[in-house]
Structure 1
């Protein structure tokens, strides 16, 4: 019985330790001596005479106000990319509050404006925007960020790398909290090394470039369009690069509640992709299966592993020390924690935030079990949600 309790405590803890500390070391070792083809192409372009850049279409799917979209179009037009080889397509959400004519007036001829497909949402907007696009390369952008002057050029240049189907950039938040800043520093380091091995697991939907011929229409109820694109390319044998110098700067300041809601959406979207496209779970289909499993899928099971380990620790202590001793230790620990939190309220706030983050996988799992894919909608709308027909999801393969 004691061995069983020890195993229950140790095995989940070991898995957690590997995910949080071992995986970064593993991916670093695997990337040693390798260079991503997209990085090679970008570096070569800086020292060799530049070949003619392709005609591109920058696609912005949005439901933001016309003045916000107009500012974004001006930023895109200020890019270092040749203006005569770039068009901007704005796809306005089918459920946007403002009429389409307001967006046409706001962009003042600097962009093509189209109406997003029904029933609305980003995936439906992207489908409409890409249909209207004419470029051989698609660059995707959101309306709230702004690109650095070199962002588009670096993304497009990275596509010249051998076997590269898409290149993702980096989102830089002007205002954020230290915990999230450290998280994004970790993500950038991981993505850089994943690209050197084969591909990043997911581009940032607000800043990436894609070969036009590799585009596949998206199911309207899709949550994570960026994950859909990235994993679809990997399943078809293409590589997905990462360019740190291709920056999209976001001036917004997000509350922790907004971060929480976004994490619930993205983790629900991860489960959705696995349900709709199970090939991503197969090692012989997914060239980045190890990284997909460790870097993405384990996020779903982290709270369950932590709970199992805590149960194992408590059970082991009970068997070794006895029930009264364990109870006394738990009471003393709780009192000490309460005193510390009273003296340092900020520490308590951070602890509560960390505890809330552990709830994200539980909520995402509940969404998936109930088929609640409309995670942006109201509760009533989610209750009426149903899964789209299976054939619509097969566009990945």
Structure 2
């Protein structure tokens, strides 16, 4: 009896996180969602790029930003060289008055470098980017347009893989749809680290060693009473990683950062103090709990009496075997419907399962992880 109860409780947790909550948000967004009032205006912006040992990419990234269709006199770019050991500083010093390079002798980590960049910024709007990606046409204009609405405090762009013309996997289509619905309901609480913007007066310095600056910033914006929007036309383009181990460790680091964020922002655990508690709890926290619920469901179905639970146990084992194939052999998995999504599901939940011990063992002295 206890095993059967545990099985259904675990199944309800997984079902709410991946089905119930997204469906509820989709219905609610259609009924009560609201888009911001966008305008064709061009506020002064400060693009902040924190880099460490990026000699090979930094100049190209700077030129990519400056090539955007944005008034030259209303854009500045601050490149914070965080104690690089290569020629990053020299490579960043291109011949353009809009670019300022800030050299830090000590390696502070990304959060510390961003704090230094913001302290030196003059723009009304801060734009945060990474070195690895490039911008799609009109990305900066699309990113700042929602700031015409005074209720908007932060805006996320959208990260796409390749040229944006491909067919993203089922998992990521669902995830992007969920984020868009959250944005329409005013409870989007995570942004893309590759392209997001913030009103300068809303910036709260990021604690040293914070992994998820792209969650710290929007959560602080929401706590200040402003909404965060998702501008899907503001596109940053990245290349897919073909290194499965690298992709797994990237996800593990991100998920471990969620545990770190709870420790640094305990207000997140309060339904009364956290204005987006339901969204954060269902979208972020339960994603950390789901792998444990999946393990409970598997073990409970093995112990519970009756043919239904025997069948459930076998079905789970077969599903995990298929998902493992989809994870380990992505090229082969693409020939089978739903198998890539199953592989992504298993990879993310394996990373989530290890995220708590990884966060406890986190080496705070390793400030940058290079990809």
TM above 0.5: yes
CA distance in 2, matches of 1:254, 1:109: 38
CA distance in 2, matches of 1:375, 1:100: 21
CA distance in 2, matches of 1:370, 1:67: 32
Which residue of 1 is the match for residue 276 of structure 2?
288
Report if aligned partners of 2:62, 2:92 keep a CA contact under 8 Å in 1.
Answer: no
The CA deviation string for residues 347-383 of structure 1, in whole angstroms up to 9 with x for no partner, is 59967775444321232110233454566679xxxxx
- Structure-2-length-normalised TM-score: 0.85
CA distance in 2, matches of 1:138, 1:4: 53
Report if aligned partners of 1:118, 1:124 keep a CA contact under 8 Å in 2.
Answer: no
Give the C-alpha shift of residue 224 in structure 1: 0.5
SS in 1 for 2:255: helix
| Residue 74 of structure 1 pairs with residue 72 of structure 2 | no
The CA deviation string for residues 29-68 of structure 1, in whole angstroms up to 9 with x for no partner, is 22123444xx4322xx3xxxx45x2211111111253342
Which residue of 2 is the match for residue 94 of structure 1?
83
Report if aligned partners of 1:78, 1:149 keep a CA contact under 8 Å in 2.
Answer: no
Which residue of 2 is the match for residue 198 of structure 1?
186
| Residue 362 of structure 1 pairs with residue 353 of structure 2 | yes
Report if aligned partners of 1:116, 1:126 keep a CA contact under 8 Å in 2.
Answer: no
CA-based RMSD:
3.1
Report if aligned partners of 2:54, 2:88 keep a CA contact under 8 Å in 1.
Answer: no
Which residue of 2 is the match for residue 310 of structure 1?
298
Report if aligned partners of 1:94, 1:115 keep a CA contact under 8 Å in 2.
Answer: yes
The CA deviation string for residues 173-218 of structure 1, in whole angstroms up to 9 with x for no partner, is 1089x99733221221111110111131201111011101111211
More helix by share: 1
| Residue 266 of structure 1 pairs with residue 251 of structure 2 | no
CA distance in 1, matches of 2:172, 2:347: 19
SS in 2 for 1:359: helix
Give the C-alpha shift of residue 153 in structure 1: 1.2
Which of 226, 235, 238 is matched with 1:247 structurally? 235
The CA deviation string for residues 283-340 of structure 1, in whole angstroms up to 9 with x for no partner, is 1122211110011011111111011111211111xx346xxx969x97xx78xx79x9
Structure 1: 5+ residue stretches without partners = 379-397
Which residue of 2 is the match for residue 152 of structure 1?
140
Which residue of 2 is the match for residue 228 of structure 1?
216
| Residue 23 of structure 1 pairs with residue 12 of structure 2 | no
SS in 1 for 2:28: helix
Which residue of 2 is the match for residue 209 of structure 1?
197
Structure 1 pair 67/262, CA: closer, same or farther in 2 (3 Å)?
closer
CA distance in 2, matches of 1:99, 1:6: 59
Report if aligned partners of 2:110, 2:367 keep a CA contact under 8 Å in 1.
Answer: no
Larger radius of gyration: 1
The CA deviation string for residues 137-171 of structure 1, in whole angstroms up to 9 with x for no partner, is 11111122111231111221211223211000000
